[in-house]
Amino acid sequence: MTLYVKNMVCDRCIMIVNERLQNLGFSVKQITLGKVEVAPDPNQEQLKDIAFEFQALGFELIEKEKNQLVEQIKNEVINLVHYSDLGEINQSLMHLVADKLNKDYNYLSRLFSESEGLTIEKYIIQQKVEKVKELLEYGELNLNEISFKMGYSSSAHLSAQFKSLTGLSPSKYKASAVKNRKPLDKLN
C-alpha cells in the first residue's frame, strides 16, 4: 500500500518516517518525499495508529487524491529547488514538475491554486528565496554564483525577487543579525 505523507521535506524526514513505520511492524518497500510504500497493507486500526504517530512528529497522512497530488507537486518543487543545480536545467520548473508527475500542467496549476491559494510559480519563487537565504548564510558562494546555481538569468533578477519577498536585498539580508528563514513545510 502507498501512503502519502504531508510535511516530509528532507532526508531526515524520510529517515524518521521509515524508522517509525518499521517500529510499528511494517516493511518499507520504497520511500521518497511525501510517499511511502509499505507492506503488509495496514488495516483501518493500523492506519489510525500510523496517523497518530505521524501527527506527533509533525507529519500527516493524506487520504484525498487531490490533496495527495498537491503534496506531490510541493515535494517535486522542493526536490528540484533544494537538491538540484537549477543552472543546469533548461526547462521551466513548472513544466518539469508536470512532466515528472505525468499530468497536464494546466490541471496541476488550477488544482494547486485552488488548494494552496497561490500559484505553483509563486510557490517555486518562495522555495528559491528560502534556498538563497540558506546559501547566503553559508557564505561559500557569491551572489553571481548563487544566481546561476538557482537558475536566475542574472543576479539583478534574483535580487529583485528576493527583495520583493523579504523586503531586503540579498546583501542586506546577509549583513543583518536576524536571519528569518522559514521551514520548508511552512511555505505558502
pLDDT at 84: 86
**Cell 492506519 belongs to residue:** 47
CA 52/CA 64 separation, integer angstroms: 18
Tell me, what's the pLDDT at 89? 83
Whether 83 and 55 map to the same domain: the answer is: no
20 shares its domain with 102: no
Residue 184's pLDDT is: 63
185 and 105 within one domain: yes
If asked whether residues 110 and 81 sit together in one domain, one would say: yes
Instruction: Give the separation between CA 168 and CA 108, rounded to whole angstroms.
Output: 32
**pTM, rounded to two decimals:** 0.78
Statement to judge: residues 59 and 82 lie in one domain: no
| Domain total of the chain | 2
**176 and 133 in a common domain:** yes
Domain interval for residue 33: 2-63
Q: What CATH number is associated with residue 116?
A: 1.10.10.60
The three three-digit cell numbers of residue 26, written as one number: 511494517
**Same-domain pairing of 161 and 84:** yes
pLDDT of residue 41: 94
* The residue to which cell 487524491 is assigned: 65
Kind and range of the H or E run holding 30: strand 27-32
The reported pLDDT for the residue numbered 183 is: 63
* CATH number of the CATH domain containing 17: 3.30.70
Residues 151 and 83 reside in one and the same domain: yes
What is the block-wise mean pLDDT of the chain (188 residues), using blocks of 10 residues? 91 93 95 93 93 93 91 92 85 88 93 94 94 90 93 93 93 81 64
Q: 175 with 119, same domain? A: yes
Q: Please state, in angstroms and rounded to a whole number, the distance separating the CA atoms of residues 92 and 88.
A: 12
- Residue 2: its pLDDT value, please? 93
pLDDT at 95: 87
Is 115 found in the same domain as 48?
A: no
> CA-to-CA distance for 32 and 176, rounded, in angstroms?
36
Same structural domain for residues 22 and 87?
no
91/123 same-domain check? yes
Q: Kindly state the cell numbers that stand for 105.
A: 500542467
One DSSP character per residue, 43-98 reads -HHHHHHHHHHHHHTT-EEE-SHHHHHHHHHHHHHHHHHHHS-GGG--S-HHHHHH
